[in-house]
Structure formats: C-alpha cells, structure tokens
C-alpha cells in the first residue's frame, strides 16, 4: 500500500530533505505534497487524501500550532497523524502538542532512520 505524505515547512530546503528521507526510507510512497505554511497545508488536505503530515511549528501566515488546532477542530481531518519536526524544544509547546494529540515529535537535526522509525510506528509497519 502506497502512502501519501504532506510536508509543511516554510523552508523549501527542509521540505526537500524530508521528502528525500521519506523516499530513502524504503516505504512505498504515493504522493509527497508540500506546503509552505499552515493555511496552504489545510488547502492541500481539503483536496487530497493524506496519510500523514510532517509539520514545522514556526512558519509565517499560519504557524504549525494554528494548523494543528484547525485540524483537531475539523472532523474530516482530525484523525490524520501529525508529526512535528522542529528546532524548538520549548517544554510548554511540547506539553500542548501532546495535549492536542500530536502523534510524534522529531527534533532537528534528524536522520532518515529516525523518520522511518516514526512513520513505521504510526502507520503500523513495525517489523
């Protein structure tokens, strides 16, 4: 089964790195959608089937926190796993992410193996 991913980050370079890590992970990949902020990500989710979202927190226009809150409040997309990839290690943010049911958190810098293990765990591909 091929999985569709959405990568949300204002940095095209990080979107490329995440997409590359996913491609290298050995998972069967369908589409990897990209969005540069939370608003654009919600538009992608409106129009496409996505199995998992990778999102940064600090982005212009609509940041990751607002995007996650909108996802939580929308029954059409509230069950899509969200993994936050961020440099921020703020305890308050981590507590909030956990309280709204964010599925995973990956600190930057990250290695492809870390991403694969998170995806495997959340999509039930553990060997």
Partner 1 sequence: MESNLNSELLFETLSEVLEDAAFIFTEVADESLQFNSDILKSSIHYNGQEDGILSLAVDKITAKTVAANLLGIEPSDEDAEEKSVEAVSEILNIVCGVFLERWLGGQNHCRLGIPSTVSLTAAEEMAALNSSRCNAILEDEEGNRIDIFVSGN
Residues of this chain that interact with partner 1 (CB under 8 A) are 10-14, 16-17, 20, 58-60, 86-93, 107-109
Tell the smallest beta-carbon distance from residue 14 to partner 1 (Å): 6
CB closer to partner 1 out of 59 and 82: 59
Q: Where are the alpha helices (DSSP H) in 5-111?
A: 12-24, 38-47, 64-72, 91-99
Asked whether the bond before 109 is cis by omega within 30 degrees of 0, the reply is yes
Q: Let me know: does 105 contact 84? Beta carbons within 8 Å.
A: yes
CB closer to partner 1 out of 28 and 91: 91
CB closer to partner 1 out of 29 and 77: 29
Q: Let me know: does 44 contact 6? Beta carbons within 8 Å.
A: yes
Tell the smallest beta-carbon distance from residue 57 to partner 1 (Å): 8
């Amino acid at each position: 089964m091929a999985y569709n991913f959405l990568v949300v980050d204002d940095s095209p370079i990080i979107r490329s790195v995440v997409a590359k890590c996913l491609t290298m992970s050995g998972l069967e990949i369908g589409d990897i959608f990209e969005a540069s902020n939370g608003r654009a990500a919600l538009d992608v989710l409106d129009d496409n089937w996505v199995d998992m979202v990778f999102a940064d927190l600090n982005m212009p226009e609509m940041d990751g926190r607002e995007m996650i809150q909108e996802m939580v409040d929308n029954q059409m997309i509230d069950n899509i796993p969200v993994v936050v990839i961020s440099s921020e290690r703020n305890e308050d943010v981590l507590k909030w992410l956990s309280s709204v049911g964010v599925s995973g958190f990956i600190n930057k810098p990250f290695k492809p193996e870390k991403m694969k293990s998170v995806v495997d765990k959340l999509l039930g591909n553990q060997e």
